[in-house]
Amino acid sequence: MIETKIENQILFIQLNHGPVNALNEAVLNGLIEAIENKGFDPNIKVIVIKGNGKCFSAGADIKSFPNLTKHERLNLASTSAKLFRLIKTCHKPVISSIHGVCLGGGFELALACDMRIITQDTKVGLPEINLGIFPGFGGVRRLSDMVGQHKALQIALTGENVNLNDIKELFNDIVKDEVELDQVTLALAQQIASKSADSIKVIKQMSNLDLSLESDQIEERHFVDIIDTENAKEGIDAFISKRKPQFK
């Protein structure tokens, strides 16, 4: 259900649960296992999540819902929450590379990632209300934070597919087709992977903080400490020497 490969310090995680990469508990646990087992390797600097075949993910495995016990439904929700917390706290930037269909839980997975690149013809939305349920993987909260409550409510309460131009701030890039999607995703991942692992880690941590006094103090400590790292010494020396740095 999940395939992984590592190239040039990039961990590629591919959803492989045909035909539409539906997200059941096994798929979610597979994503968790891939990140926990490989994403914390110090040699990995970037994680890319993508879907195989025709789409990224059409969302939760709705066909299984009638047969799930209350305990199994709770496990599904808890597993999704665990995965999305892991994506946020793993210290590696996570890019979702999106094509075809990105609906419901699939859209919520994409929203949980740090960056998103998408093809212009991808179907995007939160259609759960059409089934008499709601987006239970944190999608409404994340979307409200990213595009505003008014837009998030319209998307979730109508259940309609969304025009990407109306939510273009969600995406790092909107590309023409799957060929360009792979090219742009790889280029971004490689550019990040060429940087200092220490800087990547701290920058992701800072992106998850608010602007409180406590956060200011955390950032101050990280700034003081990072100057002593080997990567910082290499980067500063390379700048002074007018050469390209060789980061670890």
Question: Which tens digit of pLDDT belongs to each residue from 75-113?
Answer: 998 999 999 999 999 999 999 999 999 999 999 999 999
Q: Is residue 248 part of a domain?
A: no
Residues 60 and 95 in one domain: yes
Nearest partner of 96 among 124, 80, 115, judged by Cα = 115
Please tell me the predicted confidence (pLDDT) of residue 104: 96
Q: What pLDDT shows up at residue 213?
A: 72
Distance separating alpha carbons of residues 18 and 219, to the nearest angstrom:
43
* pLDDT at residue 120, rounded to an integer: 98
**Number of domains forming the structure of the chain:** 2
Specify whether 89 is located in the same domain as 203.
Answer: no
Q: pLDDT band for position 218 (50/70/90)? A: confident
- For residues 164 and 212, state if they share a domain: no
Report how far apart, in Å, the C-alpha atoms of 75 and of each of 61, 78, 79, 80, 129 are: 14, 5, 6, 9, 21
Using pLDDT thresholds of 50, 70 and 90, give the confidence band for residue 198: very high
Domain membership flag for residue 84: yes
Residues 189 and 205 in one domain: no
Instruction: Please indicate, yes or no, whether residues 102 and 144 belong to a single structural domain of this protein.
Output: yes
For the annotated catalytic residues, the residue numbers are: 108, 128
Q: Are residues 234 and 141 in the same domain?
A: no
Q: Is residue 247 part of a domain?
A: no
- Whether residues 131 and 87 share a domain: the answer is yes
**Mean pLDDT of all residues belonging to the chain:** 93
Q: Is residue 59 part of a domain?
A: yes
Residue 229: which domain range?
A: 197-241
Residues 139 and 189 in one domain: yes
Q: Confidence band (pLDDT; 50, 70, 90) for 62?
A: confident
Global pTM value: 0.92
Same domain for 128 and 140? yes
Dihedral angle sign, alpha carbons of residues 105, 115, 15, 92: negative
Per-residue 3-state assignment (H helix, E strand, C coil) for 63-91: HHHHHCCHHHHHHHHHHHHHHHHHHHHCC
Q: How many helices (H) and strands (E) does the chain have?
A: 9, 8
In a domain, 39, yes or no: yes
pLDDT digits (tens, 9 = 90+) for 15-37: 999 899 999 999 999 999 999 99
Q: Are residues 25 and 129 in the same domain?
A: yes
User: Of the ranges 54-58, 82-86, 183-187, 208-212, which one carries the lowest mean pLDDT score?
Assistant: 208-212
pLDDT at residue 212 in the model: 73
Q: Is residue 246 part of a domain?
A: no
Q: What is the DSSP code (8-state) at residue 228?
A: T
